[in-house]
Amino acid sequence: MTTRHKTVTVDGIDVFYREAGDPSRPSLLLLHGFPTASHMFRDLIPELADHFHLIAPDLPGFGLTEMKPREQFAYTFDHIADLIDRFSEVVGLTRFAVYIFDYGAPVGLRIAARHPDRITAIISQNGNTYLEGVSPAFAPVQAYWANPTDENRNALRGFLAPGTTLFQYTEGVTDVSKVSPDGRNLDDAYLARPGVDEIQLDLLLDYASNFAAYEVFQAYFRKHQPPLLAVWGRNDPFFTPAGAEAFRRDLPDADVCFFDTGHFALETHAAEIGVVIREFFDKQTLGVFRAARKETSDETAFDRPVCFSACLQSEV
């Protein structure tokens, strides 16, 4: 299945995105994290393109989406969510599932909480929504939130260095030879563009707003009970397994799967994650069939076995 690379203008900003799959199939919006872009899905898209209509945009300040000066675009998670919300409308997504990772999690969940009727399911790959699972690696960022001085801001510039990118891609990976250097080198090239450093430091400061929004996201879970699948790199140095397990507090039926890898789980386990996603959606479809069966007088209608096995605290 061919992936197409497109650009669409949304509220005066040219948004780059990748699209694959048949638009008549269920839609899945893929939202990347820091410091990457939609190219992080390059191995997952072929795994899912025969089953879904896939759309993966580059967020503002990342990848190939137009990078407006900070004076013209406020680089906050609220504002980015506003733009991606409008983007989803412009490209014709009316009902869709959302795949959220890292920075993509607070963006996607803001959209879900605003429009619960549009969201068919959530897939979270190391995208925290609870304080549980937030590791001590966030301590320097939290110091900046508490005291946003120039000194504390400059202390975070190391987060933008190639060594940190390499750490994010390889820490917790059992066989680093499986991690292609292409992704992280492209991320470093994007980070090296003039002005990106200040944009990223703005977002690190505004990340505090995501912690503040966790209660809103959790209330959305409790009220609307969206189907949720967590696919988690077990050895993530930033978001630990406790963050994945916490989903079941508000979503008792959530499926939680761990993989023996780090933060960028798709770099090593795209095929395995693709299998789990397809099985998860097969299970959701079967649930719809069974609900329909209860409403019909034909008790044998839609009678078929469940083929998906829960993988809570297991390794795929």
pLDDT at 315 over 80: no
Residue 284 within any structural domain of the chain: yes
**Whole-number mean pLDDT of the chain?**
91
Residue 198 belongs to domain spanning: 4-294
pLDDT for position 143: 95
Residue 310 has pLDDT above 90, yes or no: no
Q: What is the reported pTM? A: 0.91
Annotated catalytic sites, by residue? 263
Does 235 reside within a domain? yes
Tally the domains of the chain. 1
Tens of pLDDT, residue by residue over 259-276, are 999 999 999 999 999 999
**DSSP characters over the chain:** -PPEEEEEEETTEEEEEEEES-TTSPEEEEE--SS--GGGGTTHHHHHTTT-EEEEEPPTTSTTS----TTTS---HHHHHHHHHHHHHHTT-SSEEEEEETTHHHHHHHHHHH-GGGEEEEEEES---SSTTB-GGGHHHHHHHHS--HHHHHTTGGGGSHHHHHHHHHTT-S-GGGS-HHHHHHHHHHHTSTTHHHHHHHHHHHTHHHHHHHHHHHHHHHHH---EEEEEETT-SSB-HHHHHTHHHH-TT-EEEEESS-S-THHHHHHHHHHHHHHHHHHHHHHHHHHHHHTSS-TTTT---------TT-B-
Digit-coded pLDDT (tens) for 44-54: 999 999 999 99
pLDDT digits (tens, 9 = 90+) for 109-118: 999 999 999 9
Q: What is the pLDDT of residues 97-135, one digit of tens each?
A: 999 999 999 999 999 999 999 999 999 999 999 999 999
In this prediction, residue 304 carries a pLDDT of 29
Average pLDDT of span 156-184: 96
The verdict on residue 10 lying in a domain is: yes
Banded pLDDT at 60 (limits 50, 70, 90): very high
CATH number at residue 145: 3.40.50.1820
Tell whether 314 is covered by a domain.
Answer: no
Task: Identify the pLDDT of residue 235.
Answer: 97
Predicted confidence at residue 95, as pLDDT, reads 97
Determine, yes or no, domain membership for 307.
no
pLDDT for 285 beyond 90: no
**309 lies in some domain:** no
- Please check whether residue 313 lies inside any domain of the structure: no
Q: What is the pLDDT of residue 283?
A: 87
Query: Would 266 be classed as within a structural domain?
Result: yes
